[in-house]
């Protein structure tokens, strides 16, 4: 080994150790628990249990469905928002960017807890409604409010990559499109939308992945009545009276595989265009 090479290895070593200790080893643990019984024997039974028990499957499909809805709603809100944001002057752009990021400075748990306080039966909104003589409304405990919670928490992750890819589109291209007969809408459809596709795809990834594995939001907004796959994993590991590491690890493993597959699908769409993309592809 040359000197330069051994130097490189020495420099990389801390990161390598870090990655092994905190990524590889935990993954091995997850895999180990997923394929063993409570007393340590090898088995496929956990996976069979997960895919055959109705309670798990219901939760699994519910998580997928809610995450898809939340991602779609985020996209529908974020795209026009990011487009308008790229159109205003530079100082307003910075201001809007700050406003988008501001909630992210607070911890997700704190934010979610605050919303629970605002929305609950004796919360801020219902008190206001009562004070003007209206009936209180049951906000919490349904699918809509959980999806709202996810949209609220993850919207910035959709806005930022889309905004960054839209604002990268050269202004002269918009003029060229205009010059060739496109009105503002046509220009969005024929130039801005296709050119910001990488931003849209990374936004979708960055929202869908945390949404599908959400746990805290659903528990707080439904008083534990509507469970998502993340809640079930949490239960199995430490909330239930009899922890079941094996099934918990199995669900985690399946969820990871699902996320990897969806990432592969998204990357397939953006192939060849990775350089022109905006934002982050995880």
Partner 1 sequence: MSKENIIELKDIRMSYDGETVLDGIDLTIKDGEFVTFLGPSGCGKTTTLRIIAGFESQDSGDVFFEGKNINAVPPHKRNINTIFQRYALFPHLNVYDNVAFGLKVKKTPRSEIHDKVLEMLELVNLKGLEKRKIDTLSGGQQQRVAIARAIINHPKVLLLDEPLSALDLKLRKDMQVELKNLQKRTGITFIFVTHDQEEALSMSDTVVVMDKGKIQQIGSPADIYNEPKNAFVADFIGESNIIDGIMKKDLLVQINGRDFECLDAGFGVNESVDVVIRPEDVDIVPKDKGMLEGVVTSVTFLGVHYEIIVDINNFKWMIQTTDFHDVGETVGLFIEPDAIHIMRKSEYSGKFGDYSSYSDELDEMNEEAAEAAAAEGNADD
User: Which residues of this chain interact with partner 1, rule CB under 8 A?
Assistant: 170, 172-173, 175-183, 186, 190-191, 194-195, 276
In angstroms, what is the minimal distance from the CB of 190 to partner 1? Answer: 7
Q: Of 57 and 173, which CB lies nearer to partner 1 in the complex structure? A: 173
Is 187 or 214 the residue whose CB approaches partner 1 more closely?
187
DSSP H/E element including 255:
helix 245-269
Query: Is the CB of 196 or the CB of 246 nearer to partner 1?
Result: 196
Least separation in angstroms between CB 193 and partner 1:
10
151/121 Cα distance (integer angstroms): 22
The minimum distance between CB 202 and partner 1, in angstroms, equals 17
Q: Which is nearer to partner 1, 25 or 180 (CB)?
A: 180
Residue with tokens 């906000």, as numbered in its chain = 139
Helix/strand number for the chain, H first, E second: 15, 0
Give the separation between CA 110 and CA 122, rounded to whole angstroms: 19
CB of 171 to partner 1, least distance (A): 8
Helix (H, G, I), strand (E, B) or coil at 50: helix
In DSSP terms, which residues pair with 36 in a beta bridge?
42
Which of residues 99 and 180 has its CB atom nearest to partner 1 in the complex?
180
SS3 127: helix
Q: CA angle 49-52-55, nearest 5°?
A: 90
Rounded Cα distance between 270 and 198, Å, is 6
């Amino acid at each position: 080994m040359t000197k330069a090479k051994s130097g490189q290895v020495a420099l990389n070593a801390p990161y390598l150790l870090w990655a092994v200790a905190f990524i590889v080893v935990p993954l091995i643990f997850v895999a180990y628990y997923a394929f063993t019984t409570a007393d340590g024997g090898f088995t496929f039974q956990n996976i069979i249990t997960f895919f055959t028990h109705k309670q798990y499957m219901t939760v699994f499909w519910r998580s997928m469905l809610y995450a898809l809805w939340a991602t779609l709603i985020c996209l529908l809100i974020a795209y026009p928002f990011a487009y308008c944001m790229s159109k205003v002057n530079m100082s307003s752009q910075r201001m809007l960017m700050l406003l988008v990021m501001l909630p992210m400075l607070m911890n997700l748990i704190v934010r979610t807890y605050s919303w629970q306080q605002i929305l609950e039966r004796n919360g801020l909104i219902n008190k206001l409604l009562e004070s003007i003589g209206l009936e209180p409304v049951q906000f919490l405990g349904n699918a809509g409010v959980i999806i709202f919670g996810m949209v609220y928490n993850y919207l910035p992750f959709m806005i930022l990559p889309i905004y960054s890819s839209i604002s990268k589109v050269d202004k002269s291209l918009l003029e060229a499109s205009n010059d060739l007969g496109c009105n503002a809408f046509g220009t969005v459809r024929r130039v801005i939308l296709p050119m910001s596709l990488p931003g849209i795809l990374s936004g979708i990834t960055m929202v869908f992945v945390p949404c599908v594995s959400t746990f805290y939001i659903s528990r707080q907004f439904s008083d534990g009545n509507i469970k998502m796959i993340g809640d079930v994993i949490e239960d199995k590991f430490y909330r239930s009276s009899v922890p079941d590491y094996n099934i918990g690890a199995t669900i985690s493993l399946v969820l990871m595989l699902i996320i990897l597959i969806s990432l592969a699908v998204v990357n397939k769409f953006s192939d060849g265009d990775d350089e022109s993309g905006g934002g982050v592809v995880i």
